[in-house]
Structure 1
C-alpha cells in the first residue's frame, strides 16, 4: 500500500466531504439546520470521532512499537555480527575463510536491505545461502587447543543467535497496517468532516481551516503507513549499525 497515494486519498476524501457538507447545507430547509438538529448530529459524530481517535491511536502505537523493536533488533543483529567476527579472528588463520564469508554476507545484507536504487529485499535465497555457508565453515573448524575449542563453541552459539534474529527481522519487516483499518478510518473521518461542513459557515477562513485539518490527518496517515515498513519508504531504520559492523570486519 503506497503511503503517499493513501495520504492523498485521505486528504481528498476529508476535504471533499467538507465541501459536500457545505453544499448540502445550502439545499436543506431551515428546520433541518435547527439547534436541536445540530446537537443531535454532534452527539452521533462525537461517538464516531472517539472511535476514530482510538483506532488512529492504536495504529500509531502499533507501528511505532514495531519500528522501535526493529531498530533495536538491527542493533542486536550487528552486535552478533561483530562478536562472531571477533571470535573467529581470535581463533586464528584457520578461521579466515569463515571470516571472509561472514564479511561477504554482511556486505550482501547491507546492499539488499538498504539499496541505493533497487527494490528492498530483506529476505532472499542468496542471503540465506551466504549465511548458511558461514555456519558450515564454522562447524568445519578443527580446534587444536582448548582455547580454539572454546572459540569454536562461542562462534557456533553466535551463529545460531544470528540466524534466529535474522528471521525475526524478516517477520518484523513484513508487518503492515491491515488495509481494512485504513479503509474504515477513512470512511469515519470523511463522515466527521462532512458533518463539520454541514453546519459550518461558508467563507474563506472555515474552508482554509478544514483544508489544513485534512492535510494534517493525511500527513498522519502517511507517517503511520511509512513507519509500518521499517526498511522501505522515506522513514526507515538507518543502516549505520550495519555499516559500522562492516567497517569493523575489514580492519
Structure 2
C-alpha cells in the first residue's frame, strides 16, 4: 500500500481515537473517571506505549539500516563499473566493443532504476540481465596477445563477477519491506493509546490541537519509515549520482 495512504490512515485512526475518547468521557459515569481508574489506565497504557515505542524504534532502525546499506552498495556498484571499464580501456582497441556494451548497460540501468516517470521504476528486468550477461560474454571472448592483456582480461572477468553478484544483492535489498502486520499492530496500539489520552483530557481547543499535531507527527513518522523501506521507489530514494558519475567516466 502507498506510504502516503498508510500515513493518512494512521492520522485518521489516532486523531479519531482521541476524539472518540473525549466523546466517551462525557457519557461515562463519575466513578468510571475517578483518580483510581485513571491510575489503572495509565499503568496499562504505559505498557502498551512502551511496546509501541520499541516496535517503532525497531522499524526505524531496520529501514534506515537497509537504506544506508543499499546506498553504499549502489556506490560500490558504480565503482565496479568504473574499474571494469578501466580494465577494458587499458586492454586496448580489441575491448572497445565490450566497453560500448558496458556503457549501454549503464545507460539502461539508469533509465530503469531512476526513470523520469517515478511510477515506472524497475530494478530488475530480463533486458537488463541479458545486457549485462552479454557484457560478460564479450569480456570472456577476448583473446589476449600479451602478458599484460592476459592479466587485464583476468582482472576484467573478476570485476564482472563482482558486478553481477552485487546486482542481485541490490535487487534483493530493493524488495525488503516492512511486514504489513507490524504496521497494523502499531496502528492499533497507537489508536488505543490516543483513546486513553482523550478519555481523561478536557474537551477544549488546546487538547484537540495537541492531539491533531501528535497524530500528524506519528503519521509522518510512519510515512518516513515506509518510504525508506523502498529505496528505489517513492519520494525518498537512493540518489543516482554515483551511477551518473560512472557513466560520465565511461564516455570520456
Length-normalised TM-score, structure 2:
0.99
Tell me, yes or no, if structure 1 residue 64 matches structure 2 residue 57.
no
Tell me, yes or no, if structure 1 residue 197 matches structure 2 residue 198.
yes
**Deviation at 1:145?**
0.1
**Deviation at 1:167?**
0.2
Counterpart in the other structure of 2:169: 168
Structure 1 unpaired stretches of 5+: none
Q: Report the 3-state secondary structure (helix = DSSP H, G, I; strand = E; otherwise coil) of the residue aligned with 1:17.
A: helix
Counterpart in the other structure of 1:184: 185
Counterpart in the other structure of 1:6: 6
Counterpart in the other structure of 1:31: 31
Superposition map of 1:100-119 within 5 A:
100-117=100-117, 118-119=119-120
1:211-251, Cα deviation, whole Å (9 max, x unpaired): 00000000000000000000000000000000000000000
Q: Report the 3-state secondary structure (helix = DSSP H, G, I; strand = E; otherwise coil) of the residue aligned with 1:69.
A: helix
Counterpart in the other structure of 1:73: 73
Aligned equivalents of 2:20, 2:116: Cα separation in 1: 44
Counterpart in the other structure of 1:222: 223
Counterpart in the other structure of 2:139: 138
1:187-207, Cα deviation, whole Å (9 max, x unpaired): 000000000000000000010
**Deviation at 1:140?**
0.2
Q: Report the 3-state secondary structure (helix = DSSP H, G, I; strand = E; otherwise coil) of the residue aligned with 1:128.
A: helix
1:50-96, Cα deviation, whole Å (9 max, x unpaired): 00000000000000000000000000000000000000000000000
Aligned equivalents of 1:228, 1:21: Cα separation in 2: 33
Counterpart in the other structure of 1:51: 51
Counterpart in the other structure of 1:18: 18
Counterpart in the other structure of 2:211: 210
Aligned equivalents of 1:92, 1:172: Cα separation in 2: 36
**Deviation at 1:134?**
0.3
**Deviation at 1:33?**
0.1
Aligned equivalents of 1:128, 1:113: Cα separation in 2: 13
1:149-177, Cα deviation, whole Å (9 max, x unpaired): 00000000000000000000000000000
Structure 2 unpaired stretches of 5+: none
Matched positions, count: 251
Length-normalised TM-score, structure 1:
1.00
Aligned equivalents of 1:45, 1:127: Cα separation in 2: 51
1:26-48, Cα deviation, whole Å (9 max, x unpaired): 00000000000000000000000
Runs of at least 4 residues of structure 1 off by over 3 A? none
Q: Report the 3-state secondary structure (helix = DSSP H, G, I; strand = E; otherwise coil) of the residue aligned with 1:212.
A: helix
Alpha-carbon RMSD across the aligned residues, in angstroms, is 0.4
**Deviation at 1:104?**
0.3
